[in-house]
Amino acid sequence: MPLFAALSESELQGLAQRAVEKRFAADDVLFWEGEPCIGIFLIIQGSVKIFRTSPGGREVMLSIEAAPATVAELPLFDGGAYPASVRAIEQVVALFINKSDFQQFCRQNPDVALKVLAVVGRRLRHLVGLVESMTFGSVTQRLARMLLEASKAAGSDTFDLPATHQELASRLGTVREVVSRNLGRFRAQGIISIQDRQVQIVNRAGLQQESEAQG
């Protein structure tokens, strides 16, 4: 699990003693944005969607996290509420560590806090990049960037589509039809191929060109 990858065996065991297993069915909400932070969730099976809700009720997806992953790290340190909502996409098994237990453990083991904050900092940089990719350029450019990012994360030109067309649309701030139309155009131009939900980048240079904002 990336958040705790730098911890020693004894530090991991100390955290494990404070963890409680929780199970969630598909579509269950682990917590809502704005709720007081009660602790951190370690996703050990399944995947979750992190999203925010606009005043008008529209969901904007921020990311999908698949096991092994963690959610709700930041409120552990800044004392604030949960900044986004998290919903189970499928059946999820998680380990929950109470906020006060985690903070007490960090006070007893100061190196743990530094190691964890280094990972939180990297995630924050990733979110800044996500905001940029969602904000600048056309939907076509943002979709191309998302596919390149998914390929980078998978370490391969072939990878599973990171979300449904509707969820991609939510993340890109558009509608499903626009996402489907752009994916169809990428396929017709021989830039990508899609089989079920598996994507293969056939022409990386072409996809890179689609991703570059026009001056």
- CATH code at 138-211: 1.10.10.10
User: What are the tokens at 161?
Assistant: 């589509």
| Distance of alpha carbon 83 from alpha carbon 111, whole angstroms | 26
- Computed over every residue of the chain, the mean pLDDT equals 86
Considering the chain, tell me which residue range(s) the CATH 1.10.10.10 domain(s) occupy. Answer: 138-211
Considering the chain, tell me which residue range(s) the CATH 2.60.120.10 domain(s) occupy. Answer: 2-133
Superfamily of domain 2-133 in CATH is: Jelly Rolls (2.60.120.10)
Verdict on whether the full-model pTM lies above 0.85: no
Q: What is the pLDDT of residues 25-82, one digit of tens each?
A: 999 999 999 999 999 999 999 999 988 887 777 777 777 888 998 888 888 888 889 9
Q: Is the bond leading into 68 cis (omega within 30 degrees of zero)?
A: yes
Long-range contacts, stretch 15-18, CB < 8 angstroms, 24+ apart: 15/97, 15/102, 15/105, 15/112, 18/97, 18/98, 18/101, 18/102, 18/105
